[in-house]
Amino acid sequence: MSVNQPRRGRRAGSPSTRELILASARTLFAEKGFEGTSLREIARDAGVDPAMVHHYFTGKEDLFSSCVELPANPDQVLAAVSAVVPADRGPALLRTLLVLWDSPAQPALLAMLRSAVGSKAQAALLREVLFRRVLARAMAGLGTDADDVRLRGSLLASQIMGLMMARYLVRLEPLASASHDEIVAVMGPTIQHYLTGSLRDGFAGGS
């Protein structure tokens, strides 16, 4: 590239290249899901060399996290959860999520929930985050079949999103002001039930 052509084209490494890649990634992840999207396609859509994608992001997972602007890496946050034995994992998952939601990450997480409610593309991204990140960790090693994992995962996600909404957005009392211990005490059993309970027969032992 000639040094005698100032201000022509976009220089490699300018902040905008990263933004171009993120914009294409957001669109493609929303349209085709995480699995259905390749880094090569994202580079092509963004009009950049695939090497640029690798320059800015360590891989597809990293690019995805940057796309949805996750303020914390859910894999790190949830790593401890998959180590908990399945029989105790519900309360552990719920407590981990409450700590995350009540951290400085809260505004970004609520923004993600809000935008998923208002936009189909954002809803698709949230679906990917929930299934690939939160639920994959929560259900690791549960040894159930794929249909069962999806059913349990969507039930779990419904209660998790509903709690976020009730506590932080609609601010329903006493959930809005309750301590983590209180919420884990009253909702932990539901999360555990969705993870490992007998779904088709209702709660074991009745309610």
Q: Which residues bind a copy of itself (CB under 8 A)?
A: 90, 113-114, 116-118, 123, 126-127, 130-131, 147, 150-151, 153-155, 157-163, 165-167, 169-176, 185-190, 192-194, 196-197, 199-200, 202-207
Is the Cβ–Cβ distance between 183 and 174 less than 8 Å?
Answer: no
Give the nearer residue to a copy of itself in terms of CB position, either 44 or 150. 150
- CB 81 to a copy of itself: min, Å: 17
Two tokens, residue 102 = 């009540």
- CB 23 to a copy of itself: min, Å: 22
Give the nearer residue to a copy of itself in terms of CB position, either 140 or 149. 149
3-state helix/strand/coil string of 15-58 = HHHHHHHHHHHHHHHHHHCCCCCCHHHHHHHHCCCHHHHHHHCC
Two tokens, residue 137 = 């960790």
CB atoms within 10 A of CB 199: 13
- CB 185 to a copy of itself: min, Å: 6
- CB 173 to a copy of itself: min, Å: 6
Give the nearer residue to a copy of itself in terms of CB position, either 50 or 91. 91
Is the Cβ–Cβ distance between 156 and 89 less than 8 Å?
Answer: no
